[in-house]
A and B are shown apart, each in its own frame.
Chain A
Amino acid sequence: MNNVIANRLTKSFNNVKVVDDLSFSVDEGEIYGIIGPDGSGKTTLFRILTTLISPDSGSCKVCGFDVTKDYKAIRNVVGYMPGRFSLYQDLTVQENLDFFATVFNTTLGENYSLIRDIYVQIEPFKDRPAGKLSGGMKQKLALCCALVHRPQILFLDEPTTGVDPVSRKEFWEMLKNLKKIGITIIVSTPYMDEASQCDKIALMQNGKFLRVDTPQNFINNYSGKILSVKSDNIYNLLEDLRTYKSLITAFSFGECCHLSSMYNEIDIDNLIDYLIKRKHKNIVISEIIPSIEDCFLSYLNR
């Protein structure tokens, strides 16, 4: 069953189409990732789907309800965690939870089973003002508040920005548990390792989805080869790789650079000669399987 069906959604601000004729659907119980550069329209799309703004044209159903006509019904069945921390900083952890429960005409006790695993981690700080929590704890509290009324769909707009790798991993384990009990999750993230944990990914740019597919299909359908190149001077290496040949893209990936060419084979021996002439030392070149990040960069570079 489809939990979200969008049909030609469009929204403009100052004559700029921020969401541009967008059609897609999200299945029930799916983790659906929306990935795109800053300003690609992700947050605007979230705001339309959660009925905070209306589309200029097109239609969209969320859990069977229309986003413009039935907005009140939708608000009862969706949970939304905006990108910016938007709980009450001067209320305590407990007060925030009670407040959101009351707004949805429920209590913390009623849906406790749903949030228990997350809540026990913030419980030691339940009397602390939300504004005094660290990033990881704030985000756990925000997730609890978004879940307190047992929503069918959870909208998470960059929930893990500013969160350390250990907490991020824990957060995704929580999301997978929520998926198991049938909650649909629509999430945006700038972290590509998180994108690869989604069931489906939509690559968004300029208000459109460039492509929607499973992470595995993104990788399988990547055309062209990727070489991982290392040397002692990574910054010069990047510059030199970029001037090696035209139609080649080079990006830094931690301790190595990834070099890709969509159109022609790269002659490794020739490349090594070229780098030696440019005084690179300890050159290591190997062909690698592309990651989601490679796919993302190549799509956005077209």
Chain B
Amino acid sequence: MNDEDIVIHTDKLRKQFGNFVAVEDISFDVKKGEIFGFLGANGAGKTTAMRMLCGLSYPTSGIATVAGFDVSKHQEEVKKNIGYMSQKFSLYDDLKVWENIRLFGGIYGMKSAKIKTKTDEILNELGLENERNKFVGELPLGWKQKLSFSISIFHEPKVVFLDEPTGGVDPVTRRHFWELIYKAVSRGITIFVTTHYMDEAEYCNRVSIMVDGKIKALDSPSNLKQEFGASSMEQVFFRLAREAERKGD
């Protein structure tokens, strides 16, 4: 495989807090245009791993490159080439819809004229033209999450990190959200996503399952089901996560 096709590469990536090994020597590659599901129970080390990949925390040891940049040496370059959204933090409730878009466009160093045309595009795509001047805090959660996703890929990043993007979102909106993800993939954006919905794990091209800081399984959903003799990803997850010693502390 050509190196350019690998958007995320980790080799024995490790993060230790004192004696506690939060992430233990994980190694994997994510290819361009892939939807990579990063699963694990609460406390398995997903967020810590993701923070390192986003350039927000230094690895204790091991290597990780994201969009071709080393996360230990070129954190700022990493940040410029990725998008990020999470269930917990996405947009500023006390800024209007257009103001949020303007703010994030500015942060990613986009030109004003470009931001203007892209703003129209996003609002049109999401059917939010009438909400342009509303405060984000007034929008229902599902709309907010869709807007937040669109903003996270606003600057055409190579890869976008989604940390439980659909937590608490109702079934209809969850499906609309995944349709947006597929659309982004068709534009060549790579998706790195965590979720607790096991049906969403099925939408991923490949899935890794983390238990106690280690990656215990990594393959396509259909191969994983075959390997574990399971009929659904939920069963695969249960098999692995039940072995966990760390109890979500």
Contacts and interface: CB of A to CB of B under 8 A. Distances in A.
Interface of A: 36-39, 83, 121, 124-125, 128, 133-137, 158, 161-169, 190-192, 234-235, 238, 251-255, 293, 296-297, 300-301
B182 interface: yes
Chain B CB count within 10 A is highest, among A135, A168, A190, A301, for A190
Contacts of A166: 41, 237-238, 241-242, 244
A208 B219 CA distance: 44
24 contacts: A37-B173, A38-B169, A124-B247, A128-B249, A134-B249, A135-B42, A136-B42, A136-B43, A136-B248, A137-B247, A161-B167, A161-B168, A162-B42, A162-B164, A164-B196, A165-B234, A165-B238, A166-B241, A168-B196, A251-B175, A254-B200, A254-B232, A293-B171, A297-B171
Contacts of A190: 168-171, 174
A275 B169 CA distance: 31
Contacts of A255: 202, 221-222
Chain A CB count within 10 A is highest, among B43, B173, B186, for B43
B248 A167 contact: yes
Chain B CB count within 10 A is highest, among A168, A254, A293, for A254
B111 to A, nearest CB: 32
Given A39-B140, A121-B247, A254 B171 contact: no
B178 A252 contact: yes
B141 interface: yes
A254 B203 contact: yes
B121 to A, nearest CB: 20
Contact of B41 (A133, A136, A254, A301): A136
Interface string B1-43: 0000000000000000000000000000000000000001111
B110 interface: no
B196 A253 contact: no
A37 B170 contact: yes
Contact of A254 (B164, B170, B199): B199
Contacts of A238: 179
Contacts of B175: 251-252
Given A134-B42, A164-B41, A165-B238, A37 B249 contact: no
Chain A CB count within 10 A is highest, among B40, B41, B198, for B41
Interface residues of B, number: 44
A251 B178 CA distance: 11
Given A83-B168, A166-B237, A251-B175, A38 B43 contact: no
A125 B173 contact: no
Interface string B176-198: 00110010001000000000111
B140 A38 contact: yes
Contacts of A169: 238
A300 B172 contact: yes
Contacts, number: 108
Nearest to A160: B196
A158 B247 contact: no
Contact of B249 (A137, A158, A163, A192): A137
Nearest to A296: B171
Contacts of B199: 253-254
B247 to A, nearest CB: 7
B233 interface: yes
A24 to B, nearest CB: 20
Contact of B42 (A36, A167, A296, A297): A167
B60 interface: no
Chain A CB count within 10 A is highest, among B172, B196, B221, for B196
B87 interface: yes
B55 interface: no
Interface in B68-85: none
Contacts of B141: 38-39
Contacts of B59: none
B168 A297 contact: no
Contacts of B186: 235
A164 B241 contact: yes
B142 interface: yes
A125 B140 CA distance: 35
Contact of B171 (A39, A83, A192): A192
B248 A134 contact: yes
Contacts of B196: 162-165, 168
Contact of B168 (A124, A137, A162): A162
Chain A CB count within 10 A is highest, among B140, B171, B197, B241, for B171
Nearest to A301: B172
Nearest to B139: A39
Contact of A37 (B164, B172, B182, B198): B172
A64 to B, nearest CB: 33
A38 B170 contact: yes
A83 B169 CA distance: 12
A235 B233 contact: no
Chain A CB count within 10 A is highest, among B42, B87, B247, for B42
B142 A125 contact: no
Nearest to B233: A254
